[in-house]
């Protein structure tokens, strides 16, 4: 018996949520049960009441806004506790065509992938401003390089996870889960694929960032941070070698001038060269230490995965247990 949970993170989406829910399928070949889960990220417009009126099966409500990444991870955790075999994430602004949920889960049902990303074909999105479209394409290319994946639309929030893939997700970013989850999945050697999807007309501007500069800053910071988290030795070694080589070149320049009798006027260059070479060497040492910490982090992630698995197994054996029953969590989950 295959159970699908469609999670919808929401922040003040009372106006668009009904259309989003209305477009979602109630039956998919190969899926025995479909349930809807809304994560209300501290909305003040009655989003939870609208979700309840629309017949949503489960509602998690934060008392304060925690951000999209936190809402996404809470959704995964709750869906797993609800017994989901497949979890689909979609946006509440009705950006993605709900009818494509079936297309999204097909590779998972065929056991061909762990994660499936909906590809909006950003190049053809006429409603997206040219600058934003270009940034999306460049950003997706960068993420593909650092994650060693082939996902063409890395910022798409329309995606499906197998139970195993969801168990291994550990998002640490406060900004968004889209980029980090793909880089993380690529580094963990998960099978990621993509399928073409349709999109609806824009109902409101993006709330993730207020300007292009803000988007660039947050996205680039997320990419660098996550890549460094998973490849610290590469990052610090490369940085250290470049710094050391710059110092070495400056020292060679001083030596050349000194041999020509001009060394006295360039003592500052010698000092700068020494500082850069020492700093470069120290950065390489930091990289070695970071690599050891990275190994410990991988062990911690494996422990977390096993704890989650045990917790879910206990829940399956004892559904009424307060320690594992999502209905009893303080964040507040309501059932239809």
| Residues paired with residue 36 on neighbouring β-strands, in sequence order | 6
Mean pLDDT of all residues belonging to the chain: 86
Residue 317: inside a domain, yes or no? no
Tell me, yes or no, whether 134 and 203 share the same domain.
Answer: yes
Q: What is the pLDDT of residues 135-151, one digit of tens each?
A: 778 888 888 888 888 99
Tell me, yes or no, whether 115 and 202 share the same domain.
Answer: yes
Tell me, yes or no, whether 295 and 211 share the same domain.
Answer: no
pLDDT, average across residues 281-288: 95
Tell me, yes or no, whether 150 and 293 share the same domain.
Answer: no
Among 213, 230, 247, the domain-final residue is: 230
Tell me, yes or no, whether 224 and 236 share the same domain.
Answer: no
Residue 270: inside a domain, yes or no? yes
Q: What is the pLDDT of residues 237-264, one digit of tens each?
A: 999 999 999 999 999 988 887 787 766 6
Tell me, yes or no, whether 30 and 161 share the same domain.
Answer: yes
Among 230, 250, 280, the domain-final residue is: 230
pLDDT, average across residues 5-15: 94
Tell me, yes or no, whether 236 and 225 share the same domain.
Answer: no
Tell me, yes or no, whether 52 and 180 share the same domain.
Answer: yes
Angle of CA points 125, 131, 133, to nearest 5°: 30
Q: Is the pLDDT of residue 313 over 70?
A: yes
* Tokens 């970071």 sit on residue: 290
Q: Is 93 exposed, middle or buried (0-12, 13-18, 19+ CB in 10 A)?
A: buried
pLDDT band at 207 (very low <50, low <70, confident <90, very high): low
Tell me, yes or no, whether 222 and 82 share the same domain.
Answer: yes
At 66, give phi and psi (nearest 5°): -115, -10
Q: What is the pLDDT of residues 45-104, one digit of tens each?
A: 999 999 999 999 999 999 999 989 999 999 999 999 999 999 999 999 998 999 999 999
Residue 307: inside a domain, yes or no? no
Angle of CA points 202, 206, 210, to nearest 5°: 145
At 61, give phi and psi (nearest 5°): -125, 125
**pTM over 0.95, yes/no:** no
Percentage of the chain lying above the pLDDT 90 cut: 53
Among 288, 198, 204, 284, CA closest to 238:
284
Q: Is the pLDDT of residue 323 over 60?
A: no
Tell me, yes or no, whether 140 and 244 share the same domain.
Answer: no
Domain that holds residue 15: 3-230
Work out the angle between the directed axes of helices 232-259 and 212-230 (0-180°, nearest 10).
100
Among 109, 190, 194, 210, CA closest to 158:
194
pLDDT band at 268 (very low <50, low <70, confident <90, very high): confident
| Structural domains of the chain, count | 2
Start-to-end CA span in the chain (Å): 21
Tell me, yes or no, whether 225 and 242 share the same domain.
Answer: no
Q: Is 243 exposed, middle or buried (0-12, 13-18, 19+ CB in 10 A)?
A: buried
Residue 260: inside a domain, yes or no? yes
pLDDT, average across residues 208-229: 76
pLDDT band at 336 (very low <50, low <70, confident <90, very high): very low
Among 205, 230, 255, the domain-final residue is: 230
Tell me, yes or no, whether 243 and 162 share the same domain.
Answer: no
185, containing H or E segment: helix 178-187
Q: Is 132 helix (H, G, I), strand (E, B) or coil?
A: helix
pLDDT band at 321 (very low <50, low <70, confident <90, very high): low
Contact at 8 Å (CB) between 265 and 224?
no
Query: Which CATH number does the domain housing residue 54 bear?
Result: 3.90.550.10
Angle of CA points 65, 50, 41, to nearest 5°: 10
Residue 269: inside a domain, yes or no? yes
Q: Is the pLDDT of residue 3 over 90?
A: yes
């Amino acid at each position: 018996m295959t159970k699908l949970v469609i999670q919808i993170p929401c922040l003040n989406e009372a106006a668009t949520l009904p259309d989003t829910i209305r477009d979602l399928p109630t039956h998919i070949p190969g899926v025995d049960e479909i349930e809807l889960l809304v994560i209300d990220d501290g909305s003040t417009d009655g989003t939870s009441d609208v979700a309840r009126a629309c017949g949503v099966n489960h509602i998690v409500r934060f008392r304060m806004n925690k951000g999209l990444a936190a809402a996404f991870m809470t959704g995964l955790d709750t869906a797993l506790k609800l017994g989901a075999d497949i979890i689909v994430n979609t946006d509440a602004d009705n950006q993605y065509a709900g009818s494509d949920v079936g297309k999204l889960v097909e590779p998972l049902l065929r056991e061909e992938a762990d994660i499936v990303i909906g590809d909006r074909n950003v190049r053809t999105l006429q409603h997206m401003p040219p600058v934003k479209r270009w940034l999306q394409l460049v950003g997706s290319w960068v993420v593909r390089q650092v994650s060693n994946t082939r996902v063409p639309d890395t910022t798409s929030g329309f995606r499906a996870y197998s139970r195993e893939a969801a168990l291994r997700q550990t998002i640490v970013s406060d900004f968004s889960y889209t980029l980090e989850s793909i880089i993380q999945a690529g580094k963990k050697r998960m099978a990621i694929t993509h399928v073409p999807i349709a999109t609806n007309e824009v109902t409101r501007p993006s709330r993730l960032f207020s300007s292009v500069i803000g988007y660039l800053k947050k996205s680039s910071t997320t990419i660098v941070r996550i890549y460094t988290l998973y490849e610290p030795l590469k990052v610090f070694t490369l940085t250290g070698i470049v710094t050391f080589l710059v110092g070495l070149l400056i020292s060679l320049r001083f030596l050349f001038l000194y041999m020509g009798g001009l060394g006295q006027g360039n003592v500052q260059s010698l000092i700068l060269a020494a500082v850069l070479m020492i700093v470069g060497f120290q950065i390489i040492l930091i990289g070695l230490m970071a690599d050891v910490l990275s190994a410990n982090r991988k062990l911690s992630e494996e422990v977390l995965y096993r704890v989650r698995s045990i917790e879910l197994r206990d829940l399956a054996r004892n559904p009424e247990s307060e320690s594992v029953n999502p209905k009893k969590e303080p964040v507040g989950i309501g059932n239809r």
